[in-house]
Structure 1
Amino acid sequence: MVEADIIPSARHALITGAGSGIGAAIAQTLAQNGCRLTLCGRSQERLDKQAQLLRALVPDAAIHTVAVDVGDEGSVAGAIEQAHQQFGSVNILVNNAGQAQSQSFLRTDAALWQQMLQVNLTGTYHMMHAVLPQMLAAATSGTPGRIINIASTAGLMGYAYVSAYVAAKHGVVGLTKALAIELANKNITVNALCPGYTETDIVQEAVRNIVTKTAQTEAQARTVLTARNPQQRFVQPDEVAQSVWWLCAPGSGAINGQAIAIDGGEQAG
């Protein structure tokens, strides 16, 4: 039996940080490919708005929304239980929720350090730990599991003034590789996608910070952020979303434990 024969057309995909940006693009791509969706994020209002937009684009989409704080173990447990009650076992987990705050290392206090680790790294741990038992059960029954962690090129290299974020994203990449090996013979793959600067709210905030701190124009600030990308542009959320689907689609089972850069060639330089 080939992989294409055993993958149902309506797998249950849970996406964190799904209310906007990369998460919203991933949700749209997975909905268009027949997945049932649980959209998670901090704002119920934003999630419901995103669900409404998705239903307009994909009228037959099956969508559930639930507010969650990925840094809180109890909040995550409650959200996963709701998701399971709605659509059954989660087969695809996309850990997209994240935060980035810029600060020099000497001004990075313990509170900022813990916040960056709690959201970006511990949140990823909480989600995987809560979803894995049901994903394993479904994988044993024949439905492959896919865990995709949205890391960053900051998980592959260093960037100045975001040391806590860099440390957290390096942790996500390491956790991805460790769990991929542990689950390699369990019909579940674990991979990380590492986008460069992507056209999202986080990048808009970075642009505003540069403008405020350096008196550069917005256009100049955007040029600064795209300078390391050989294509001289921001990555688009849909480009990340298409890579997520590629890792979920039939024939992807041998791709495991990878940290794949989506950066226009930045890591090649």
Structure 2
Amino acid sequence: MAYQGKTALITGGISGIGKNVAVALQEQGATVLLADINENASLLKGLNESRADSAFYYKVDVTDWDQQVGLFKFAIEKLKRVDYVFANAGIVETTFLAYTSPTQVEFTKPDLRTIDVNLVGALYTSNLAAQVFRTQEVVDGFRGKIILTGSVASFSAIPHMPLYTASKHAIAGVVRSLAPQLGAENITVNAVCPNVTRTALVPQEVFDIFESQGTITPNETVTNVFHTFLGESKVNGALKSMIARLHEDISLRARMLLSQAK
């Protein structure tokens, strides 16, 4: 098996992209730690029934530094060595510009949770991963590998989604800036940047609209791209996209549904 004896910590590992990556790695021999604010007992049970003690769960709010420190301490205790860290936890757009009336006299504070989860959370995860990796011996050429989840929004702006776009643009900058420094320490940093993928975060009607526009990236395709950064791969500082741009003509219905998804 490709990842026999390897370990992986995956934030947002209970559903969507994180879950798919966790299952794929576990099936190929890795021990996985699923970190998420939500729980999925059946997923954990199923993984451990197929191979005992191959999957662990840790409840964490990635926007909280102390909780992430607890997560990495748990990882060291349970996994001993951490080979791969996936900074994957994310949410969709929150309200940046609230609708106001001409007579409004009070200011409305924007909801910046998208930045907190998608960017601050990913920075905390990447920072802690680097600190752990620096304490580890080089094995098969590496101390460890950090893989972030970007988006097609890492390259192009998504209309009416400024916070999500900003967070994913920032992920691209983090990878490009951090990779040379950590690469010199036998640590790689890369990002997978898919187009729209089906997750539980958004009403399925939205995905039906995007699929009709040809902008859905199959989950299997996304998972396969993650594999290209693992194992013996020496790739560092890369942003791998599946589709070069998002369809610019997002329908009004899709925009409304995305703005309502929390």
| TM-score normalised by structure 1 residue count | 0.80
CA distance in 1 between counterparts of 2:96 and 2:63 reads 24
Mapped contact 1:93–1:146 kept (Cα < 8 A) = yes
Matches within 5 A, 1:103-114: 103=95, 105=97, 107=99, 110-112=109-111, 114=112
Deviation at 1:202, TM superposition (A): 2.8
CA distance in 2 between counterparts of 1:97 and 1:146 reads 17
The answer to whether residue 242 in structure 2 is matched with residue 225 in structure 1 is no
Superposition misfits of 4+ residues, deviation over 3 angstroms: 102-111, 139-143, 221-224, 265-269
Mapped contact 1:103–1:161 kept (Cα < 8 A) = no
What are the ranges of 5 or more consecutive residues in structure 2 without an aligned counterpart? 101-107, 249-262
What are the ranges of 5 or more consecutive residues in structure 1 without an aligned counterpart? 1-6, 208-217
2:57 to 65, 82, 106: 65
Q: Go from structure 1 to structure 2 and tell me whether the alpha carbon gap of 1:107 and 1:73 turns closer, same or farther (over 3 Å shift).
A: farther
2:80 to 66, 74, 88: 88
Deviation at 1:227, TM superposition (A): 5.5
The structure that is helix-richer by fraction is 1
Deviation at 1:222, TM superposition (A): 4.2
In structure 2, the residue matched to 1:148 is 147
Mapped contact 1:91–1:143 kept (Cα < 8 A) = no
Deviation at 1:49, TM superposition (A): 2.5
CA distance in 2 between counterparts of 1:54 and 1:18 reads 13
RMSD (Å) for aligned C-alpha atoms: 2.6
In structure 2, the residue matched to 1:188 is 187
Mapped contact 2:94–2:114 kept (Cα < 8 A) = no
| TM-score normalised by structure 2 residue count | 0.82
Amino acid at match of 2:9: L
Amino acid at match of 1:100: V
Mapped contact 1:19–1:40 kept (Cα < 8 A) = yes
What is the percent sequence identity of the aligned residues?
A: 25
1:130 to 128, 131, 136: 128
Mapped contact 1:121–1:172 kept (Cα < 8 A) = yes
The size of the alignment, in residue pairs, is 239
Q: Go from structure 1 to structure 2 and tell me whether the alpha carbon gap of 1:107 and 1:138 turns closer, same or farther (over 3 Å shift).
A: farther
CA distance in 1 between counterparts of 2:98 and 2:123 reads 28
Mapped contact 2:11–2:36 kept (Cα < 8 A) = yes
In structure 2, the residue matched to 1:174 is 173
